[in-house]
Amino acid sequence: MTVLVHGGNIARAAHMYGRPVDDWIDVSTGINVHSYPIPELSAHVWQRLPYPDEQFIAAAFAYYQSRNILLTAGSQPILECLPQALGELGNRQAVLIPDIGYQEHRHAWQGHTQVVDYNGLIDDSEAITKGLAEQDIGHLLVINPNNPTGIRYSVEQIYAWAAQLASKQGFVVVDEAFIDCQPEQSCITPNMPSNVLVIRSFGKFFGLAGIRLGALIAMPTILEYLANQMGIWRVNGPAQAVSTAAFNDRQWQQQMRAQLANQQAQQRQIWQPVLHALGARIQADTALFRSFTMPAELAQEVHQKAAMQGILTRPVDIDGQTSLLRMGNIDITNQSHLQRCNQWLQSLT
Ligand SMILES: Cc1ncc(COP(=O)(O)O)c(C=O)c1O
């Protein structure tokens, strides 16, 4: 089994660089550093078997604005199971996916059908439309916005691709792991075509990746198929209780969206001047992460030097020669973190 490398592996970095786990500044993920405050939990959420709680289900329906939902332990199991399900329920033709993007999708599809790439670094709408029409393509994957390239497509465009695939029993899978900062850009609408499937991740915006919660919004046949595959007790009791509070807390959500939007330029400015001076170019600028394109050796050097200072960054290889360096947010109210990042950046110039 291939294990892909991801950001956020502080334990590994601590081991590699001989620095205690608690002494790292982690900018290697796009997980919100201001996580939803964990409410006090009653003992029974730990003690009882986690049958889906009515309030949890109602809160998820309201937050995702759909009743056609499957709730799972993170969005990862959904994307792992979907290729097989769509092969059974749709067609077994090739899937069109972004060459750069969350690589677990590629990994999941590869065992099931042929994978054809489109360019994940640019708005590749024209090539996608052409590919769906001309090639032997059955399904399309869109990561919206793309992690780590930041590219996004409009809901209208995605629905148009779904219309193109409908006659082939093909599906458009839309991974909206990072859409919660701009929910108005979500493909979940009352008019969502039945061959659009939306994957959502609770962990990013709410900053609680560890509780493992994800959602699939899709037509009932697909939800039933996957529910059977994944079995019962998919979401543990504490995750249900914490997310119920978070889904219902509209005030926290609005305030957090505003805070992240207000800080976006400041977060970018921490890195941009020095990385630009070194020859890097900004590729992605989102509320929870930004990515800079640079020569692969430079990305490695910057990554290594950061790690020596206890700052974990995430280089993503593009073509062996070029890399993206993705930087998540830091807590800008934490002066010592800011200072440490600034010191490290100055040491690069
Ligand atoms: C684009 C994207 N989709 C899905 C996931 C899986 O997230 P989770 O399983 O925590 O919901 C990730 C994780 O980083 C991601 O970046």
Enter the tokens of residue 96: 């069109």
pLDDT of residue 330: 96
pLDDT of residue 347: 85
Cα distances from 162 to residues 41, 98, 139, 170, 174, in angstroms, run: 42, 16, 9, 8, 11
Task: Report yes or no on 267 lying in a domain.
Answer: yes
pLDDT of residue 212: 98
- pLDDT class of 283 with cuts at 50, 70, 90: very high
Residue type for 128, please? I
Mean of pLDDT over the chain: 96
In the predicted structure, residue 198 carries a pLDDT above the cut 70: yes
Q: What residues make up the domain containing 86? A: 44-248
- CA torsion sign for 243, 248, 251, 254 is positive
Task: Report yes or no on 96 lying in a domain.
Answer: yes
Ligand 1: residue of 79, 147, 230 to mutate (most ligand atoms within 8 A of CB) is: 147
Which of 248, 283, 313 is at the close of a domain?
A: 248
pLDDT of residue 3: 67
- pLDDT class of 197 with cuts at 50, 70, 90: very high
Q: Mean per-residue pLDDT for 327-340?
A: 95
Rounded to the nearest angstrom, the distance between the alpha carbon of 348 and the centre of ligand 1 is 31
Residues 59 and 130 in one domain: yes
Q: Model confidence over 242-275: pLDDT tens digits?
A: 999 999 999 999 999 999 999 999 999 999 999 9
Task: Report yes or no on 217 lying in a domain.
Answer: yes
Task: Report yes or no on 4 lying in a domain.
Answer: no
Rounded to the nearest angstrom, the distance between the alpha carbon of 186 and the centre of ligand 1 is 16
% of the chain surpassing 70 pLDDT: 99
Task: Report yes or no on 271 lying in a domain.
Answer: yes
Segments in the chain forming alpha helices (H): 10-17, 44-47, 54-64, 76-89, 104-110, 125-134, 155-166, 220-230, 237-248, 250-277, 296-308, 335-348
Ligand 1 site residues (CB inside 6 A) read 74-76, 102, 143, 147, 175, 177, 201, 203, 209, 214
77 closest CA partner among 203, 219, 178: 203
Please tell me the total count of domains within the chain.
2
pLDDT of residue 120: 98
Question: How far apart, in whole angstroms, are the C-alpha atoms of residue 156 and residue 227?
Answer: 29
Q: Mean per-residue pLDDT for 94-116?
A: 96
Task: Report yes or no on 36 lying in a domain.
Answer: no
Residues 67 and 91 in one domain: yes
Residues 193 and 318 in one domain: no
Rounded to the nearest angstrom, the distance between the alpha carbon of 343 and the centre of ligand 1 is 31
In the predicted structure, residue 325 carries a pLDDT above the cut 90: yes
pLDDT of residue 2: 64
Rounded to the nearest angstrom, the distance between the alpha carbon of 48 and the centre of ligand 1 is 28
Q: Mean per-residue pLDDT for 127-140?
A: 93
% of the chain surpassing 90 pLDDT: 94
Cα distances from 259 to residues 78, 79, 254, in angstroms, run: 30, 30, 9
List of E strands, 187-231: 196-201, 214-217
Rounded to the nearest angstrom, the distance between the alpha carbon of 154 and the centre of ligand 1 is 20
Task: Report yes or no on 38 lying in a domain.
Answer: no
Query: Which atom of ligand 1 is least distant from the CA of 147?
Result: 1
In the predicted structure, residue 1 carries a pLDDT above the cut 70: no
Residues 170 and 300 in one domain: no
Rounded to the nearest angstrom, the distance between the alpha carbon of 346 and the centre of ligand 1 is 32
Give me the residue label for tokens 């059974």: 88
Residues 202 and 294 in one domain: no
SS3 122: coil
- CA torsion sign for 44, 46, 52, 56 is positive
Residues 75 and 211 in one domain: yes
Q: Mean per-residue pLDDT for 45-61?
A: 97
Which of 189, 219, 248 is at the close of a domain?
A: 248
Which of 248, 263, 288 is at the close of a domain?
A: 248
Residues 268 and 323 in one domain: yes
Ligand 1: residue of 28, 79, 174, 204 to mutate (most ligand atoms within 8 A of CB) is: 204
Residues 116 and 202 in one domain: yes
